[in-house]
Each structure stands twice: as C-alpha cells, then as structure tokens.
A and B are shown apart, each in its own frame.
Chain A
Amino acid sequence: MIEFIAGKYNYWIYIILMMIGFYAIIAKGNLIKKIVGINIFQTAVFLFYISISKVKGGTAPIHWDKAVIYDNPLPHVLILTAIVVSVSVTAVALALIIRIHKEYGSIEEDRILRSRREKL
C-alpha cells in the first residue's frame, strides 16, 4: 500500500493538482478564479509530462562528459509548446473578461447571469 502511494507519488501529485484546478473551474463564480483554475489544471498535466521524462540516474539532457544517462528531452520540448498554448489561452480569456466587465459591469458569474435574464 505504502509502495503504491510513495512509489507513484508523481501521479498522485498531478492528479490532486488537476482536481484542485477542475474544482476551481466548476465551483468558483469569479471568472478570473476560473482562469486560475484552468491554469492549475493545465500545469498539472505539464508536471505529468515532465515527470515521465525522468530516467533513473539521468542528468539534464545537455551534452556533458561525466554523464552516462540522460533524461528524455522530448516531453520537455512538448511542454514548452504546451506552455505557449496555455499562455495564449489565458491571454484570450483575460481579454474576454475585460470585455465582459465593460459590458456587464461585473465578473461574477451569478450577476452576469442575472443581468442576462433581466434583459430577456
């Protein structure tokens, strides 16, 4: 049991982080907090990628005379791309929130919904 938890701790960390992010996306009414949630959610997946690239006894994948084994650099590269994507999503989301604030005067989900319902 302890082996199961401690031996695979990288998965536990990513799952817990991911669920924290998911909870924030669903439960928080503030749009900015939802975006924070999205960021935690994505970062959890990034950590998952990075953790699977680790090779036991491996060094950073940079050429070095004393190194025998290197970590797998491919997931690192993939995650660099994914981080760029994540930043773009955050930027678009924040831009939308600014526009929403201008139009509705609030970034609280329930007040936006109320304002939409009154209009109808």
Chain B
Amino acid sequence: MTEPVLSLTQHIPALLVLVPLLASAIIPFSPARLRRAGGTVALLANAAALALASALAVETFRLGRVTYNFGGWAPPWGIEYAVDPLAAIMLLLVAFVSFAAAVYSRAAAGAEIAHEKLPYYHSAGLLLVSGLSGMIITGDVFNLYVFLEIASLAGYALIAAGRRRDALVASFNYLILGTIAATFILLGIGYLYMASGTLNIADLRERLPHIYHTKTVLTAFAFLMVGFSIKTALFPLHIWLPDAYTYAPSPASALLAAAGTKVGVYAMLRVTYTVFRPEFNASVVPMKTILLVLSSAAIIYGAVMAIAQKDIKRMLAWSSVSQIGYIVLGAAIASQYSLTGSLLHMINHALMKAALFMCAGLMLISTGAEKISDLRGAAARMPLTMAAFTAAAVSMTGIPPTLGFMSKWHIALGAVEAGLWAVVPVVLAGSLLTGIYFWKVIEPAYFAAPPEGHIPSGRGQAPDTPAPFWAAAPAAALAGLGVLLGLAAWTPAAGAARAAGELLLK
C-alpha cells in the first residue's frame, strides 16, 4: 500500500465487509417510504457482496493469497485482512447463500414476520452477513472476536423475530450460551497475547511453536476450542441449536444453519491449523481423539434425534447437529482426503440446509404445514417445493451422484487412509439414518392420500395459497446446484476444496 491509489479493486476485501454493514445501518434509519423497500436494499447489498466475493475468489486463486492492510498500517501493528483459497471459498459460499436467502426474504419473509418489523429483519440479516464475512477474512484474532460478536448479536435478533413466543426464549438461551462462548474465546485470545505478544494470525503461527508446551498456550487453546465448539453446536454443546432453528423465521434459519455454523467450524479450523500448526494437535494435545469421539457421537445422536421429531424444522435442526459432526469429523481425521471431504461437506450442507429450511418456509406459506403429519399428499399441492426438498434430501443423505456423496466418500476415504477403521461404520450409519429421517417426510408427501378435513398445525383453515415464485426459485436453485456440483464432481469445486485443504495441512 505504498501509492495511494483510489482503485476500488484494491479495496475489495474491505468492501466485502463494509457494503453489508453500511446497508444494514441505512435500512432502519432511512425514511419510512425507503424503509419499506428494505428487502430490495438488502437484496442489492447481497448481490454486491456476491460480486465482490466472486472477484476476490478469482484474484485469490490467481495470486494464491490476497492481503489488505486496514488503514495502511502494516501487520503485525495494524489489522490485516488475509484471504487464502479456503477463505475465498468460504466467503463465496456465505455470500452466495445469503444472496439466495435475501431473494427468498424479499419475496416471502412477510409471511412469518410482522410487516412493520420487516426492515429490521432485513437489517439484521445484512449485519449477520457482514459479521460472518469479517470472521472469515480477518487475519487478526481479536478482530475475529469482534466480528464473531457482531454476527452473534445479529443472530439473536433474527431468532427472536420468529412468530411464536417460544422464539424469544430460544433466542435468550442462545444469547446466554453464545456470550459464554464468546467470553471463553476472548479469554483464550488474552492468553495467546500474554504468551506471544501478538494478535496477528500469521505472526502467532511463527511465534507459538517455541512455546507450545507452556501452560499459558495450552489454556488458550482449551478456551478457544470450547468457545468455538459452542458456537458451532458440536455435540454435547449443541443444546441451544434445536430450539433456535425451530422457532426462528424460516429464511433466518436457512441463513444461520447454512452460513452461521459453517463459519464457526471455519474459525475452529483456522485456530487448529493456522494459528496452531497441525503438529501441535498431533504432539501436544490429544485433540484428534477428542474431536473424533465427539463428532462421531454428534453424527449418530443428531440423526437419531432427527428421526424422533414430529416438527419439520426441528427435524432439520437436529439434522444440522448430525451434519456438523461430519464436517468436524473430516477436519479431525486431518488427512488430505478427509479435509477435502470436510470442506465439500461444508459447501454441501450450506447449500442443502438453506434449501431445506426455505422449503420448510414454503410449506408453511402454501399449506400451513408445520408438522410432518401435515404433509400427507402434499406433493400434489406443491410439486416444486417437494421436488426441491427431495433433491436437497438426496444430496444430504449422500446418494451418488450428488455433492453429499462426494463429501462423505472423501471423509470415509480419509478415515481408511488414516487407518481409522472404526470411523467408517459411523460415516455409513449416519448416512443411513439421514436417509431414514428424510424418507419419513418424503414418503407421506408423495405416497399418502391427503386426509379429509385435516387442519394443518401452522394455521387455521385458511385455503392453500401458492408460494411466491421468487421464494421457491432460490430453494430450487440451491437444491439443483447440489446435484449439479456432484455431477460435475471432479470439478472446480472438488479441485478448489482439495487445494484449500492441502494449504491448511502445511
């Protein structure tokens, strides 16, 4: 940053965070007439963020690494934004999913949120995107904490916007646990700073290996891992998740499930592989064993709980607990294949869970269905929604040729490669259980006759209304993308994930 050029392309990393942040501030403070167009403003800001993230991804894959010094202060004194291939993929993923959620929200969020509150909902959504992008892009651990809290606060507001009063309690419980997690992370960062005297991630990576065995560094690592495990809802710290995702408005659930928890896992990966090196996990703490056990338990327990649910969204929420288990499992095995699988599964779960939650929202809008039992014969009444749901469910289960198959295949291969045979049955059993709980929804929707005089749980006897096209389109597009990415699998997506994983292991 020697010459002060007013070139916008140079400032893409900063703009990627600032555009949604500014847009989220503009919406609630603009005059009433403009405020009603909050959905459009949010959509435009998300489209801009998506364009910026795409440009940044192209640039990153060309150069290998893009950095940006905030305010022109060189690291380690200033705050650095650092984008490597992994960060570029995650930024693109978050931008893409939030764009899809914005398309949905603009068309249909009004069905679940009171009209006068809509602008604030759109504003909170943008704030979440800004916080998540910031968490991914930042090269400074304290900055990471600040963005984490921005994203969390937006998340609490989004969950509280749900139409039932239970949403308030769900949001409050998440706030308590989320704040404990964030305070743990803050404490961990404090210990890291105390031991190393720096907050810059690249700098920490250089300085920490000399002091790996000190108690200060071990304490820092423990606090950071517990904090991020709460944020990602890794079993057994997942208790806030089912209520939060069930009672949040559907597009907010889609955004939180798809982007929110993924970024938590990303931050965990950054801490274990970039701030600390892979050797640290191998030689100093038995992190691998702990994570293997916890994530295997998460896969099975989440799936079993999902099978037991009667509510569509609660089932999807428990499914998230199980799928997060897969992502962490792949990361914990820490071989080339498994990390590729883990990253692919992040993409898969983000796209598919967003599509599934949008479908749940569409079901509520068009037939008032909230419980699985309301869906008997529903495929005839909402063919597009059910088709998107089925496609997403197939990819989530991991049936070839979808992306979900690719990701689970890579994780299983990685387990075999690492000689962890005990993990392979867990991967397969989890997949089977996933198939069972989705089949519980798909089977009655397609093969059962619609019951006479049945009143759906979501509302009274209001007649069926067709879902708005622009709400159904993003759900179908996301679900279709999962199948397409899997079909073209040895593809840019897999190649990019492999490259990102390789860099992480170095």
Q: Judge whether B146 and A85 touch: CB under 8 Å.
A: yes
| Residues 57-98 of A at the B interface (beta carbon under 8 Å) | 74-75, 78, 81-82, 85, 88-89, 92-93, 96-97
In chain A, what residue has the closest Cβ to B171? Answer: A96
Across-interface contacts of B180 in A (CB, < 8 A)? 22, 25, 38, 41
A52 to B168, CA, bound (A): 38
| Residues 382-405 of B at the A interface (beta carbon under 8 Å) | none
Q: Does A56 contact B (CB under 8 A)?
A: no
Across-interface contacts of B193 in A (CB, < 8 A)? 52, 74-75
A104 to B146, CA, bound (A): 33
Across-interface contacts of B187 in A (CB, < 8 A)? 45, 48
A79 to B95, CA, bound (A): 31
Q: Does B271 contact A (CB under 8 A)?
A: no
Q: Judge whether B171 and A38 touch: CB under 8 Å.
A: no
Our pick among A42, A75, A81, A116 for the contact of B179 (Cβ within 8 Å) is A42
With known contacts A89-B153, A92-B157, A99-B160, A31–B146 Cβ distance under 8 A = no
B137 to chain A: closest CB distance in Å? 18
Q: Judge whether B165 and A104 touch: CB under 8 Å.
A: yes
Q: Does A20 contact B (CB under 8 A)?
A: no
With known contacts A38-B176, A38-B179, A96-B172, A103–B190 Cβ distance under 8 A = no
| Residues 167-208 of B at the A interface (beta carbon under 8 Å) | 168-169, 171-172, 175-176, 179-180, 182-183, 186-187, 190, 193-194
Main SS at interface, chain B: helix
Q: Does A36 contact B (CB under 8 A)?
A: no
A104 to B142, CA, bound (A): 38
Q: Judge whether B166 and A99 touch: CB under 8 Å.
A: no
Our pick among B145, B166, B190 for the contact of A116 (Cβ within 8 Å) is B166
Our pick among B156, B172, B176, B194 for the contact of A52 (Cβ within 8 Å) is B194
Q: Does A16 contact B (CB under 8 A)?
A: no
With known contacts A45-B190, A49-B190, A99–B168 Cβ distance under 8 A = yes
Main SS at interface, chain A: helix
Q: Does B112 contact A (CB under 8 A)?
A: no
Q: Judge whether A92 and B186 touch: CB under 8 Å.
A: no
Q: Judge whether A103 and B165 touch: CB under 8 Å.
A: yes
In chain A, what residue has the closest Cβ to B154? Answer: A92
B150 to chain A: closest CB distance in Å? 8
Q: Judge whether B183 and A88 touch: CB under 8 Å.
A: no
Our pick among B145, B146, B156, B166 for the contact of A92 (Cβ within 8 Å) is B156
Q: Does B149 contact A (CB under 8 A)?
A: yes
A19 to B165, CA, bound (A): 32
With known contacts A48-B190, A92-B157, A42–B183 Cβ distance under 8 A = yes
Our pick among A48, A49, A52, A112 for the contact of B169 (Cβ within 8 Å) is A112
A22 to B179, CA, bound (A): 11
B167 to chain A: closest CB distance in Å? 9
Across-interface contacts of B175 in A (CB, < 8 A)? 89, 92-93, 96
Across-interface contacts of B179 in A (CB, < 8 A)? 38, 41-42, 89
A114 to B190, CA, bound (A): 41
In chain B, what residue has the closest Cβ to A98? Answer: B168
A92 to B149, CA, bound (A): 12
A112 to B166, CA, bound (A): 10
Q: Judge whether A25 and B176 touch: CB under 8 Å.
A: yes
Our pick among A45, A78, A96 for the contact of B160 (Cβ within 8 Å) is A96
Across-interface contacts of B145 in A (CB, < 8 A)? 82
A9 to chain B: closest CB distance in Å? 16
A33 to chain B: closest CB distance in Å? 12
Q: Judge whether B183 and A41 touch: CB under 8 Å.
A: yes
Across-interface contacts of B157 in A (CB, < 8 A)? 92
Our pick among A48, A88, A100 for the contact of B172 (Cβ within 8 Å) is A100
Across-interface contacts of B186 in A (CB, < 8 A)? 42, 45, 82
A-B contact list, 19 entries, CB within 8 Å: A31-B172, A38-B180, A45-B183, A45-B186, A49-B190, A52-B190, A52-B193, A82-B145, A82-B186, A85-B182, A89-B175, A92-B156, A92-B175, A93-B172, A97-B172, A99-B168, A100-B165, A100-B168, A103-B165
Q: A34-B176, A49-B190 are in contact. List 20 more A-B contacts (CB 8 A).
A: A31-B172, A38-B180, A41-B179, A41-B183, A42-B179, A42-B186, A45-B187, A52-B194, A82-B186, A85-B146, A85-B182, A89-B153, A89-B175, A92-B156, A96-B160, A96-B168, A99-B160, A103-B165, A104-B165, A116-B169
B interface residues with partner A (beta carbon < 8 Å): 142, 145-146, 149, 153, 156-157, 160, 165-166, 168-169, 171-172, 175-176, 179-180, 182-183, 186-187, 190, 193-194
The 7 closest A-B pairs by CB, nearest first: A103-B165, A85-B149, A100-B168, A96-B172, A45-B187, A52-B194, A99-B168
